[in-house]
Structure formats: C-alpha cells, structure tokens
Amino acid sequence: MVRGTAAAAALVSLLAVPAHAAPREPGVRPSAASAGALPAPDVAGLWDVLRAARRQGAPGAMARLDDRDTVHWAATGVADRGTRRPISNADRFRIGSVTKIFSAVVLLQLADERKLKLDAPVNRYLPGLLPDDRITVRHVLSHRSGLHDYTNEMFARTVPGFEAVRTKVFTHRQLVNRSLSKPRTTGPGGAYSYSNTNFVVAGMLIEKLTGHSVRTEYQNRIIDPLRLRDTFYVHPRTTIPGRHARGYLTPDTAGAALVDSTEQTVSWAQSAGAVISSTRDLNTFLSALLGGRLTSPAQLAQMQRWVPAGGSQAYGLGLRRRDLSCGVSVYGHTGAVQGYYTYAFASKDGRRSLAALANTSNNSTVLNSMLGTLESAFCGKEAKPRRGSALGEMYEDVAPGIPVVPDRN
C-alpha cells in the first residue's frame, strides 16, 4: 500500500509482508530464543513518529521493523531535496555511532581468538599511546577511560566546524592527540563519559592486532559472513555508493537553510562513526549479534556488562541498552553524523529488530521524536507518554558537550 502519491514529498509507504512472501534475509538464522512477552508492534504509531519528524524539520524519515516472520516498512518524505525523490528503505545512509558496535564486535572476536584481553592496558598493545597505563581495553569500550571527546571543540559551531573537516583526512593518532591536549574527564574505570576518542583507540587496536585496516576487518568478520550488501566502510572516500539518502545538517542560526552534508570523508570519526549501511543490513547485523552468531556466548555476555549511562540507558562494550516505557529493554546504538540520525536496536534475543533514520541532524526535536520509533516497535500500544526531555541521551554521539538546535518550525 502506498499513500500520498500526489506529491513525492508527501510519500508515505507502510507495508507488512510475511517473510516467505519477501526475499529471506540472507545469512540470518532465527534464534532459538522466543520473542516471548514482547507486546505486538504498533506499526501505525511508527508511521506517526516518522510523520512527526518530518513536520519538525527532517526532509525524510524511514524505518524497517523485522519481527520474526513479518517485515514492516515505513517511509515518508524525500531522500533528496533537489530532485524530490521519495526516501525508501532501499536507500543507504551514514550510520554514525552505530559503527561503534562493529568495532566492538571485531575486538571481542579478537578476545575470543586470545589475541586481546579486555582487562589489559591499552598501552600493552599500543605502547606509549595513552598517558595512563591503567586505562584498559574494557574502559575504552565502555566509555570509562576518561579520555576527552575531541569533537566538543571540533563541532562547537556546527556548520563551520563541519566545513573545516569535511574533506580532511586524519590519522587515528592525530585524533587521539586532540583529545590528549585536554584534561581527562575521570580516572580510569570511573563513571561513564561518552567520548568518540575511545573508539578511535578501538580502531587503532584493531589495526595493530590484525595487521589489517579497519575496513578489511569489518569486511572479513561481519559484512561478508552476513552478506550485508548495503554496508561499506569507504573512508577516506567522500561518496556513498549506490542509491542513498542525502543528509541535511541544521545550522546553529535560526531560520538558516539546511546544509547538504552528504559528501564528506567522516575522517573525524573513522572507527567511531564512518560506516554506511541500510535499515535491512542493520537489522540483519543486530539480529545476528544478539542471536549469538558473531561472538562466543562469553564475549556477548561481556558486551552486556552494563554501567549506568544516564536516564533510561546503560552502556556495555560498544552496545547501549535502552529501557522503554513498557518495561522492555532493547539493545543497539544511536548514530549521529552530519545530516543523519539513526536508531538501530533489537530485542535481547534478536528476534525483533528496528532500524530507523531521519536524514537530518543537529535538530533536538527530531532526535527526541525518533525515540518514539522504539516505543512503537517494542512497546506497541502499551507505550506510555514520555515526560520531560531526554536530550542528554539523544545527541551525545557527536560533541556530547555541545547542545543541539531545537526545532526551527
């Protein structure tokens, strides 16, 4: 069913098909665990959330929900403001900090292979990199290293900051050095303090321990085994391969026009946020991870050793847990990169997964609204109205110390 065919900008599609009627997702085998007590998803509510994000300034928004034997698609608005092409779940996009799960999975696989110990100092593997030998791999992957997030200064002014790094290519060490020029936020093993620096260090660990690039390790360990046909790590190339949604950055100045931020190196993020994917591939990835197909049970359990992360969140090793209004917890990550905001979460057993995108960023109202995709997907009609704001949970993927811009409409 397609609604709103009179104008591409108003296109909304909402489909639900039995899995046997659609191509079976390659590389995914259902977990033996049951989705059990999860409420039925509210697909109409999911559509309403995406329409709200459009009203609040997103050119387009979309979501895909995989629920055991059923797949739901929803999409509204445009992928390209110039051509007015409707956005679609076939579009690829930049997933921002959802990349951190990819990096964590590679390191946990290396732990399975006995090439890495989570409680060993980072400096054992990267001698002299960090100023404190007490900072461990576990501290880095759980954002408890105390390493300052260099993106706070980099993006203190949203558009000028972005334009200054849009085509630059950084080394990992250059990014870490930016962090080390600032005081640490906590001692090693202290309270959770989100920092992209941690996952730049994770990328350095991957490359040192394997002798290969981050791209090669993502490809060989995750992308190829799961047959993720829309997932790429193209750094430092600036373009998104194939059909994709363009991204639009909201300026700090009220009323200023959105900035097309699609083409960029994302070198400022790399192993902390430079992967490209699709809603289909993100659901496949999370279902495989939580279904136990990417790591040993022991390492998956390590990934889910939670520390408080503010509000209704906890953080493990590269993995977020969000506790929803109906009492259900979901597992995944948010992802912000200039022009794109992503939710990618799944049930504990991976049998229900949701990936959603708004093709704008730096708009706090849109970011908060998109949380409703999780409520609709996992709480269904049992979702309770949210009180207050969860901004601290919403936008920390980029420059966690810098407020984002409220709705301009």
Q: What is the CB neighbour count within 10 angstroms for residue 292?
A: 16
Contact status, residue 242 vs residue 91, Cβ threshold 8 Å: no
Contact status, residue 367 vs residue 338, Cβ threshold 8 Å: no
How far apart, in whole angstroms, are the C-alpha atoms of residue 355 and residue 343?
A: 5
Contact status, residue 230 vs residue 332, Cβ threshold 8 Å: no
Q: For this structure, is 97 an active site residue?
A: yes
Backbone angles phi, psi at 83, to 5 degrees: -90, -15
- Say which residues have a Cβ less than 8 Å from residue 136's Cβ, sequence separation at least 6: 118, 119, 120, 121, 122, 188, 189
How far apart, in whole angstroms, are the C-alpha atoms of residue 304 and residue 373?
A: 23
How far apart, in whole angstroms, are the C-alpha atoms of residue 87 and residue 79?
A: 4
Q: Tell me the two tokens of residue 364.
A: 């706090």
How far apart, in whole angstroms, are the C-alpha atoms of residue 208 and residue 203?
A: 9
> Out of 31, 97, 145, 278, which one is annotated catalytic?
97
Distances from the Cα of 85 to the Cα of 60, 305, 316, angstroms? 10, 43, 39
Residues with a catalytic annotation lie at 97
